[in-house]
Chain A
Amino acid sequence: MAIISRGFAGRRSAAEAKLPPGQYLTNDFPVLSAGPTPHIPLDRWEFTIDDGSKVLKRWDWKSFRELPTETITVDIHCVTRWSKLGTSWEGVSLDVLLADVKTDLSYTMFRSYGDYTTNLPLKDVMNKQAWIAFQYDGADLEPEHGGPARLLVPHLYLWKSAKWVKGMTLMPHDKPGFWENLGYNIYGDPWLEQRYSDQ
């Protein structure tokens, strides 16, 4: 039973009703990162898919940008409690990147420039659920928001949408990434409010 806060009314709006539990709306685009923002020149950027021992796929910026792209309009939810509705991105679907990857491995670890990692079940990045995004709101993705390219997995808390992404490793078992090792939930479903590791 919650303690009632004397004199607290709160602010509610119709839009708040569409949010996952414990989130509030923002029109800003706050940033959560653990360290300095890496600045990655496009001629040194690459994205690889490996299975832990060998590289299965590799793109440089030019070959990556020749892939078919999609415009994605989605709501995003940060574990620090802000949500932003109707954000617009352009990116390459993971379905495109994984099209001719044959694997019986079920988990993935995404890797970033700056050594960030985050884990996801493979099924959560397939079937129109995940993209490598390189534009936000019609403009090239700013470095502080993950540019030149970041993962976008909008159905999970935004820390899963790794900024400055450079690769994906397929794994036989689930294993925690950076924030997942520091007390945050292994999966991170905002609708189940899976913020912390013991939830």
Chain B
Amino acid sequence: MTWRSARVIGLRDETATARTLALVVRDWPGHVAGQHVDVRLTAADGYSAVRSYSIASAPSSDGRIEITVERLPSGEVSPYLTQQVMVGDELEVRGPIGGWFVWRPEQLGPIQLVAGGSGIVPLMAMIRSRTSARSSAPFRLLYSVREPGAIFYRDELRALSSQGDSVVVSYAYTRVTPKDWPRPAGRIDAELIASGTWPSNLRPSSYVCGPTSFVEHTTDLLIAAGHDRERIKTERFGATGERK
């Protein structure tokens, strides 16, 4: 797998701390929703640092990919990508990487996505892949965020959710809820699993992505609700969070 040059062609803030970078990658071989890339930064003296980021965009054949990066206060790479990079800059990427936590349009069955925080990124690639492939696979997303301002892709998710045959989105707010929200702030619990996810008798395939404690907690709830553990795929990141 070789390093490829990638030109930054667009920047978009998702939240106060997260930014989407649109890249055009030279000779990009294409990807599947859920995969990630390595991004390499190199200092003038040759020192380099590499981190992995999930691809947020649907597969496409034009070499264009998007990644969404959450800024970590003590990070080495994420502050650069979210604050210093400008349109026109050249980065280096390698990939795509990962063949497990992926969704392909040939999968016709119901899909349950469960995201904690920036764990939404690879799941958004799956949602976008579904749209671009004109798939009619039934999708649901349960998305847990700290507070309303922490939602990535807010308008796009709202638009999808308001279309009839599309992706049903439910939110969980762990610290602060929107005004007049029917539930108090708190972690996902059995009640929210029951109301915000497919019933287990539909035998959905589930993809759960987020911080380790979130993934442990929600997969335990899914299994307690009768979901087969073999049909649950997970991707976790630690407090360092630079891999998603």
* A residues whose Cβ falls under 8 Å from a Cβ of B: 2-12, 22, 24, 26, 28-38, 80-82, 114-115, 144, 179, 182-183, 196, 198-199
Contacts and interface: CB of A to CB of B under 8 A. Distances in A.
A62 B44 CA distance: 58
B223 A10 contact: no
A196 B97 contact: yes
Contact of B237 (A12, A30, A38, A144): A30
B98 A183 contact: yes
A72 B40 CA distance: 34
B236 A12 contact: no
Contacts of A36: 219-220, 222-223, 229, 232, 234
Interface of B: 1, 3, 5, 40-44, 46-52, 76, 80, 84, 89-92, 97-101, 212, 216, 219-220, 222-223, 229-230, 232-234, 236-240, 242-243
A166 B53 CA distance: 32
Give the residue among B84, B220, B222, B243 with the most A Cβ atoms within 10 A: B243
Contacts of B236: 30-33
Nearest to A23: B50
Which secondary structure dominates chain A's binding surface? loop
B40 to A, nearest CB: 7
Given A30-B237, A144-B212, A144-B216, A81 B50 contact: yes
A10 B41 CA distance: 8
24 contacts: A2-B48, A3-B42, A3-B91, A5-B43, A6-B84, A7-B80, A8-B43, A9-B43, A10-B47, A11-B76, A28-B238, A30-B238, A31-B212, A31-B238, A33-B236, A34-B234, A36-B222, A80-B243, A81-B50, A82-B240, A179-B100, A182-B98, A182-B99, A183-B99
A3 B94 CA distance: 13
Contacts of A81: 50-52, 242-243
Contacts of A22: 50
Contact of A10 (B43, B52, B90, B237): B43
Contacts of B230: 35, 115
A179 B92 CA distance: 25
Given A2-B92, A36-B223, 13 more contacts: A5-B89, A7-B80, A10-B43, A10-B48, A22-B50, A24-B76, A32-B243, A34-B233, A35-B232, A35-B234, A36-B219, A81-B243, A114-B229
Contacts of B91: 3, 5
A8 B234 contact: no
A144 B233 CA distance: 15
Contacts of B5: 3
Given A4-B44, A5-B43, A10-B49, A33 B234 contact: yes
A179 B235 CA distance: 13
Contacts of A24: 49, 76
Nearest to A114: B229
Contact of A28 (B99, B101, B240): B240
Contacts of A6: 84, 89
B100 to A, nearest CB: 5
Contacts of B90: 3
A40 to B, nearest CB: 13
Given A36-B220, A36-B232, A182-B99, A5 B80 contact: yes
A5 B237 contact: no
Contacts of B1: 196, 198-199
Nearest to A198: B1
Contacts of A199: 1
Contacts of B237: 30
B98 A7 contact: no
A157 B232 CA distance: 25
A11 B52 CA distance: 17
B50 A29 contact: no
Given A2-B40, A28-B240, A34 B52 contact: no
A8 B42 contact: yes
A35 B52 contact: no
Given A36-B220, A196-B1, A183 B97 contact: yes
